[in-house]
Every structure is written in structure tokens, then in C-alpha cells.
Amino acid sequence: MQRTIVFDVLNNDNGQVKAILGAKRFIEENPEYKLILVGQEEVIKNTLGKYAEKVEIISSNEIAHKVISPRDALRNQSSMLSAFNVLKEGKADAILSSGDSGSYITLASLKVKRLPNVSRPAFMPVLPTTTDKKMLLLDAGANLEIKAEYLNEWAKIASEFHKIIFKSNKPVVGQLNIGTEDYKGTEIAREANKLLKEQADNYSFKGFVEPSSAINGDVDILVADGYAGNIFLKTLESSFLGFAKLLKQIYMRNLKTKISALMIKKDLKGFKAKFDYRNTGGAYIVGLDKVVVKAHGGSDEVAFYNALNQIKIALDNNVIEKLKEVFEQAKEGEDE
Amino acid sequence: MQRTIVFDVLNNDNGQVKAILGAKRFIEENPEYKLILVGQEEVIKNTLGKYAEKVEIISSNEIAHKVISPRDALRNQSSMLSAFNVLKEGKADAILSSGDSGSYITLASLKVKRLPNVSRPAFMPVLPTTTDKKMLLLDAGANLEIKAEYLNEWAKIASEFHKIIFKSNKPVVGQLNIGTEDYKGTEIAREANKLLKEQADNYSFKGFVEPSSAINGDVDILVADGYAGNIFLKTLESSFLGFAKLLKQIYMRNLKTKISALMIKKDLKGFKAKFDYRNTGGAYIVGLDKVVVKAHGGSDEVAFYNALNQIKIALDNNVIEKLKEVFEQAKEGEDE
């Protein structure tokens, strides 16, 4: 079965060429995939060369800007909106863009159908930990206010993704909170904690976890309301960048420190790579009946190529079909 | 004027001797201060030696454990409860303990009067940034749900503390949020943002800030609801600990990395010290009419000594009296 990905190449901080080059590499390796690229036709054709005939091009010159209201997102012409329209018309199975997150989440919610019996889509980045494991976090900012059942639905969704991406069996889910005891946290958090305990099925539930155990790799999936999830994500990212900046300052201090830096350089590479967004890949927007991936705003060729592969893994493993089954069954169970 | 500090020495992960030694050093240097120590009398007397006659001792063998309800905190006998009773009876101006945070916040709320026209106490740690500046964060976990006016009150309180601790003139206050635009965040956050803009007086208001600008020293004071504040604090702490652990692993990898580590060791010390809680000091619980400080659970002699000095700075500079003026004036302003 041929699968199609629509890719908004225009919305990229580094210019569309990097995005197109990432697409080119993907096409070379995956002839069974069809790509629809949305961007400036001339640039796409020139960059792809002989591969231009392998893709469909939708011409667009308008970048998606920050939106204040859903109406803005729909009214303002942009390559991102055009890409979502392709998805809505049923002409593609997945979408990729590195444009403004707010616009992307808004358009995804408006243009893509939700999975059956799923209340809300969630933003799900793949995060590094201090161990070799990576972790899925959701929601990282799409829903600032939640209901208990959202977390339960998201845990189920993330578990299916985790099994596919990391070839895991029964991933461990933790719920982000200010303490581990059952009586800690807001009323909704405590209600969700109870629900997740009862419903744990395709995952094992660790209960409330604090940031430390998430960072140290104790869970495979971290569920949170989008407010706390976003603060957690951004604090983790900024701490690492801050740490790296300080370390660099120290290494540049004098000749001795510079020599020390040279000696450790190779070993530090792995450390840096662990927290490099290009290696962790794009963020999924889940809970929808298409595969929706948001690449980092500063993505380069490698990052886009990896994001396309991230989509491929999800499609090749029929993640959407599997999720439909999970949620249809959940509904049937309830109806009995 | 003689000032009195009541110090719960029993509640310490490292045993009470470290706490008593911290007190001893403080007494040696500050004969004008009176200390009331709550703990095991024999241990206190043996550790203090000739300084034992300079302090008042309240005998206690019961450590405060985690509390589920305020009733627990009041019912369970503990050195922490005894210390708060001293404060309640008006026999001391300030309190210090390194016991369980939840119990401490609960007892502080129940046993110490609030400042006039202040709605809620807040937990306020002093945090490092990637610059030379330190930052005050409040609330870091005492109030999971808030009203807009709490943030406004906390900004005023923290500003007075900042002026005293850091000898600043007009500190910069930022409000922690998932984005910097005025339309971002929850309804309460947006309401508070508006109120802080209008009321900025003894501080300058930077508006919404994301974790990155707080970590990079763009603000002197970070106001937040206790839920996001706690997640921010714990993520920041755990990230740095996690990175330090990874770095150490890399340095221990082989002979070459070990030599590199030796060469940079001295320079890395300052880096480590920056994020060492012993140097940032204890956390204040503010909004109360006494100086209330919570030392880190793993404090050693130096950390306790620093925490006592932190109290001394607040008392010597009449922070409570100043805050009473600020809030009496605020009230008069409203009444006009």
C-alpha cells in the first residue's frame, strides 16, 4: 500500500532548502512513499533536481505566523493551512511541518478528525533522559486545562506509540506531580491518578512521579496536563542549554582549560548528542486519525529526514489502525 | 534590640549534631542574638559545650513526619510543632527547621499570623541562574491553586526581600508562563498578568516569562502558582543533578578523561558551588508576620549557619516591619 506524507517545507527558520534536502534524502531511500511538498515551486524543483518528478508540489508563499484565535489560523493563508487541507481532503496519511507550534496545534485540531472516543489531541515530544532510554511526554502544551479522562486516553495512545517506536512490551507510565503520595496534587490530578490505576492495561502505571524520576529514566511515558507538561519540557531544555553554556565558558577560560577541553571533546559529543533535538526527533500531535508530526523550528536536513522516518515508522506499523481498535474496544467494554 | 530565633535542630536528615554545630558558629559570631533550640537536651548540651548556657533548650524527641491533613500536623507531637508554639507565644521573631516541607508549610500557615491584607503565605526559595544573579521564586509549592491577587501580593513581598538580601533598588519581576504573549496561559494567569502590570510599584514588571529567561537571569523575582512553581523548581534541580552525574560518568571513562578532569577540577568547583543548595540558602515562607525559613533536608553545618545568617539579614533590616507598612499603605490606597 502506498502511503502519502504532506510536508510543509516553507515554515522553517533555516529556509526551505534544508527541508527540501531532508525530503530528497527520504525519497531516495523510500521509493514506495509519496511526498506532497507545499512551498515555493521553483525552489523545490531546483533543489530536488531529478527527484522533482517523484513528488507533487503545491505552490505557496505564505508562512504561518503565531495565531491568537482559531479563526486566525483558518483565515490566514499559509503553506501550513494548505498542507492541512490536503490531509482533510483525504489525500495524505501524515503531515509534517516545522512552523509555529500554536498554529500547528490549532490547525491539527480543526482540520484532522479525532480518533473515536478520544476527547482531545495532545502534543507529544520524545525527550532524552539521563539514561539510554528516551521518554514520551504528553501533553506538552496543547491543553492547559484537562479532565481526568484525558490523561487516561493519552496514556493509552502513548503506550501504542511507545511499543512501535521503541519495540517495547508494556511501557511504564508515570503521572507528573508535585509529590509521589496519592494525596498530593490538585483534585483533577488525584482523580486522574485513580483512573489510571484502574485502567492500566496496555501499560503499567507507576502513579505520581516528580520531575527527578522522569529525568532519570524511571518512566517510559510521562502524562501531564499541558500547563505543567510545557513548564517541565521548557525547564529541562533550558537547563541543559544553560549548563552547556556555563561549561563552555569554563573550558574557554585559559590555556589549561582549553587543553582539558580538547582531551574530553570526543567523549562530550555523545553527551551533547543526547540532548540534541535533531536526534530525539519531532513531536507528535496524537489523538487524531492521521499521523501528525511537528519538527523543531530550527531543524536542518538531518532533523527533517529523521522526522520523515519517524512518520514512516508510525505508518508502516499501522499505529492509527491499532489505536482505532484500542478505542473502539474501550467503547464496547463500556457499553456492555 | 535583642532578636530571638527558634531553631528545630532535630528534623535533619544528617542528624541533629550538624544543625547544632551550625547554631554554635552563629552564636559565637552574634552574641546579640538569642537562640532557642528544640531537640534532644543532652545532645545539644554536649555539642555546644560552653555555649550551652547562651541558648534556651526545649526538649523534644519527636521528628515531624509527612502530614496528610492540617489536623495531623497539629495532633502529632514533634520538635517542629514545639518550635512553632514558641513563635505563636510571641517568644521569638523567627523560626528555622530542615524538616518535611509539607508539615512546615502547614504549621506555618496555622501557627503564624499572616501579614495584614495578605491572602496566602508562599514558599520562596533562592535559586541560582546561569549568570551571577540569584533569583527568588514564589510560590514553589504552598498553593497549588491561586487567585490573581495572590501573585500581586507575592510580587510586593518578594520585592522587599530582594531589596534587603541583594541590596537592589527596583527588582525585575516576571510571571512564569508557557509563552510570553499576553494572550497565552490560563485565565487566572492572564488576569494576574494584567493586575501586576497595573500595580507594579516597588518593582518593575517584565510580564510573562518562559523558563529559559528565568534560568538565564532575566528576572530577579519569578512569580508563579505553586503548581507550576514547584514543577519548575524540581525540574531545574533535577536537570542539573542529572547533567552533573552524566558529566562525572564521562570523566571517569578512561585515563585520558580522568586527566582532563584533573586539569579542569579547580575551575569546575565554582560551577558546582553555584548550584549547591548550601550556598543558595534556605527557602523563606513569606506572607507571615514572622521570619520563617526552611533549610534543605540534607543541610550540613555550613548550610545551617548560612540559613541562620539569612534570617539575621531579614531581621536586622526589619523586613517584617517594612512589609507591614507596604500592605497597610496598599489597603489605605484602596480605601480612599
Distance from CA of A93 to the nearest CA of B (A): 31
Nearest to A264 among B141, B243, B257 (CB): B257
Which secondary structure element, helix H or strand E, spans residue A57, and what is its range? strand A56-59
Cβ contacts of A267 on chain B, cutoff 8 Å: 250, 253, 257
Residue range A219-230: average pLDDT?
A: 98
Chain B contact set for A234 (CB, 8 A): 178, 210-212
Q: Is the ipTM of this complex over 0.90?
A: yes
Domain A125-280 class in CATH: alpha beta
Residue of B nearest to A185 (CA): B144
Which residues of chain B does A274 touch, with a Cβ-Cβ cutoff of 8 Å?
246
Q: Determine phi and psi for A140, rounding to 5 degrees.
A: -100, 20
The region that residue B281 occupies, defined by phi over 0 for left and psi between -120 and 50 for alpha, beta otherwise, is: left
Residue A275: alpha-carbon gap to chain centroid: 15
Evaluate whether A125 touches A222 at the Cβ level (below 8 Å).
no
* Nearest CB to A231; choose among B183, B231, B263: B231
Instruction: List chain B pLDDT tens, one digit each, 336 residues.
Output: 789 999 999 988 888 999 999 999 999 999 999 999 999 999 999 999 999 999 999 999 888 777 777 777 788 889 999 999 999 999 999 999 999 888 999 999 999 999 999 999 999 999 999 998 999 999 999 999 999 999 999 999 999 999 999 999 999 999 999 999 999 999 999 999 999 999 888 899 999 999 999 999 999 999 999 999 999 999 999 998 888 888 888 888 888 888 888 888 888 887 777 777 666 678 999 999 999 999 998 899 999 999 999 999 999 999 999 999 999 877 666 654
Domain ranges of chain A: 1-118+287-336, 125-280
Quickly name the fold that domain B124-279 has: Isopropylmalate Dehydrogenase (3.40.718)
What confidence tier does A278 reach under pLDDT thresholds 50, 70, 90?
low
- Give the C-alpha separation, B196 to B186, whole Å: 15
Which residue(s) pair with A224 in the sheet?
none
- Verify whether the Cβ–Cβ distance B241 to A212 is below 8 Å: yes
Packing angle, helices A79-88 and A101-111, rounded to 10:
20
* Nearest residue in chain A measured CA to CA from B230: A178
Q: What is the CA radius of gyration of chain B?
A: 21
Best mutation target among B66, B71, B127, B235 (most A Cβ atoms within 10 Å) is B235
B321 close to B291: Cβ distance less than 8 angstroms: no
**Cβ of A231 and B235 within 8 Å?**
yes
Contacts of A27 (CB under 8 A, 6+ apart): A33, A35, A48, A51, A54, A55
* pLDDT tens per residue across span B51-104: 999 999 999 988 877 777 777 778 888 999 999 999 999 999 999 999 988 899
**Any idea which architecture A1-118+287-336 has in CATH?**
3-Layer(aba) Sandwich (3.40)
Same fold, B1-118+287-336 and B124-279: yes
> What is the mean pLDDT of the segment spanning A28-50?
95
